[in-house]
């Protein structure tokens, strides 16, 4: 469910007309719904109750500080994978004891940043990282709370570029070697082992891979406890998918996911952490663009938009599908036409959809890409010197620009010409 619906013949974000936002900020732009994010966050907290738990929003999916503050004010923790994301979480007012630091390539500077600023835990992904964190924590005279991310060699049955739990992926340590790595962690100074971390991928549409992974984590918990380790926290990652095509069968609900967690690891007496990103932010955002031209080709027709692959790269990178709808509500049984929907960037890959059946639209009309809140704005670039597009947050009948479109002067002034030129 989301809060982008047609009202009085025009698409709205909650109670704000998309056309009104477009007239104010120009196109293209992203717009996010507070009500949708809030609802999706609460679905997870309700699904995990009464287990002790913390829902940590995966900042990599949508990192605007206003969004993070919205979720942080609800009680959400934050899952960060860089020093920059850590600082975003802190800027949003999220305390360090609700911030989890993940990622395979944490630098010593990032470790110092989190240890001095406050951190709930580091999810350690390798022995070299373990040793580096021990050195940094010891040099600061502090203790770093850690989990160790194990790779359960489970096929998440998702796109190969977002699968993270198979043995050939770069993430975590092989679960078969966990006893040795935990033993080393227990010997190293400056570290406190508190739990286990696992994350098998993104956009999972079945629960069975989660069940395989979590049963392995349950067995590992019992084994590590028998070996003398204190395991009080299980970080189970994120990855639950969303329906990008409304005609398709919906992925499992958070309630089903929560029931699975209770069934597989609920008897271990551990605090549960999960790190959803896409399911909280994905359907909470849309990308709005204007049709520049309707171009008739030899064997196909094109809608050329003012949004491009630099604004939303998922279709180009993953072959991802986004439903595209006109902002002006089409009449019931309105005629349709097949279009290739493309942007203005000088790449054939700047294609959002091929052969998409759409209501008849024309130059100057607005269209919206649904389910664009996750991995949209965060992956955008200024390729072709196209400014990063605005982000807008809606709350009821109010909206605010939470990231402005930079001017060309601002973009050009970032470059410096050497004195010899």
Same fold, 4-31+282-412 and 34-279: no
Residue-wise pLDDT for 237-250, tens only, equals 988 888 887 656 67
Q: Which of the 8 DSSP states describes residue 240?
A: B
What is the C-alpha to C-alpha distance for residues 16 and 402, in angstroms, rounded to an integer? 16
Output the pLDDT for position 2.
Answer: 87
Domain ranges in the chain are 4-31+282-412, 34-279
Sheet containing 10-13: order of strands? 4-7, 10-13, 16-17
Output the pLDDT for position 393.
Answer: 98
Which residue stretches of the chain have pLDDT < 50? 158-159, 161-167
Q: Decide if 247 contacts 4 (C-beta within 8 A).
A: no
Output the pLDDT for position 162.
Answer: 44
Output the pLDDT for position 247.
Answer: 58
In which residue are the tokens 């204007």 written? 290
Output the pLDDT for position 226.
Answer: 97
User: Is-catalytic flag, 346?
Assistant: yes
Q: What are phi and psi of 91, to 5 degrees?
A: -65, -30
pTM for the model stands at 0.94
The continuous run of DSSP H or E covering 24 comes out as: helix 18-25
CATH, domain range 34-279: 3.20.20.10
What is the C-alpha to C-alpha distance for residues 34 and 67, in angstroms, rounded to an integer? 8
* Active-site choice (1, 333, 346, 417): 346
Output the pLDDT for position 165.
Answer: 43
Indicate the fold that domain 4-31+282-412 takes in CATH.
Answer: Lyase, Ornithine Decarboxylase; Chain A, domain 1 (2.40.37)
């Amino acid at each position: 469910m989301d809060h982008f619906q047609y009202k009085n013949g025009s698409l709205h974000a909650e109670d704000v007309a998309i056309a009104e936002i477009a007239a104010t900020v120009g196109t293209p732009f992203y717009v996010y719904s507070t009500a949708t994010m809030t609802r999706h966050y609460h679905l997870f907290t309700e699904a995990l109750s009464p287990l002790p738990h913390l829902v940590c929003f995966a900042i990599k999916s949508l990192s605007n500080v206003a969004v993070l503050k919205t979720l942080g004010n609800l009680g959400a923790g934050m899952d960060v994978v860089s020093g920059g994301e850590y600082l975003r979480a802190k800027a949003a007012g999220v305390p360090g004891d609700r911030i989890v630091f993940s990622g395979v390539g944490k630098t010593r500077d990032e470790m110092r940043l989190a240890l001095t600023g406050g951190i709930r835990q580091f999810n350690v992904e390798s022995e070299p990282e373990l040793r580096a964190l021990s050195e940094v924590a010891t040099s600061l005279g502090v203790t770093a709370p850690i989990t160790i991310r194990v790779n359960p060699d489970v096929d998440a049955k998702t796109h190969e570029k977002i699968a993270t739990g198979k043995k050939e992926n770069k993430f975590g340590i092989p679960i078969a070697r966990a006893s040795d790595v935990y033993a080393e962690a227990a010997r190293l100074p400056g570290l406190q082992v508190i739990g286990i971390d696992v994350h098998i991928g993104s956009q999972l549409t079945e629960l069975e891979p989660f069940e395989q992974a979590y049963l392995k984590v349950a067995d590992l918990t019992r084994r590590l406890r028998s070996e003398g380790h204190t395991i009080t926290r299980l970080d189970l990652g994120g990855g639950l998918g969303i329906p990008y095509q409304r005609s398709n069968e919906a992925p499992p609900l958070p309630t089903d996911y929560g029931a699975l967690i209770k069934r597989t690891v609920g008897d271990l007496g551990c605090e549960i952490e999960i790190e959803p990103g896409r399911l909280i932010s994905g359907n909470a955002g849309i990308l709005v663009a204007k049709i520049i031209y309707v171009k008739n080709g030899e064997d196909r027709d094109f809608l050329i938009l003012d949004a491009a692959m630099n604004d939303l790269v998922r279709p180009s990178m993953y072959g991802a599908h986004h439903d595209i709808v006109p902002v002006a509500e089409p009449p019931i049984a309105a005629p349709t036409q097949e279009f290739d929907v493309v942007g203005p960037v000088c790449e054939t890959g700047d294609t959002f959809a091929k052969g998409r059946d759409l209501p008849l639209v024309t130059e100057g009309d607005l269209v919206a890409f649904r389910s664009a809140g996750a991995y949209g704005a965060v992956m955008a670039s200024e390729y072709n010197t196209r400014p990063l597009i605005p982000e807008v947050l809606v709350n009821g009948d109010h909206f605010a620009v939470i990231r402005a479109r930079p001017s060309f002067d601002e973009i050009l002034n970032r470059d410096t010409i050497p004195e010899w030129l």
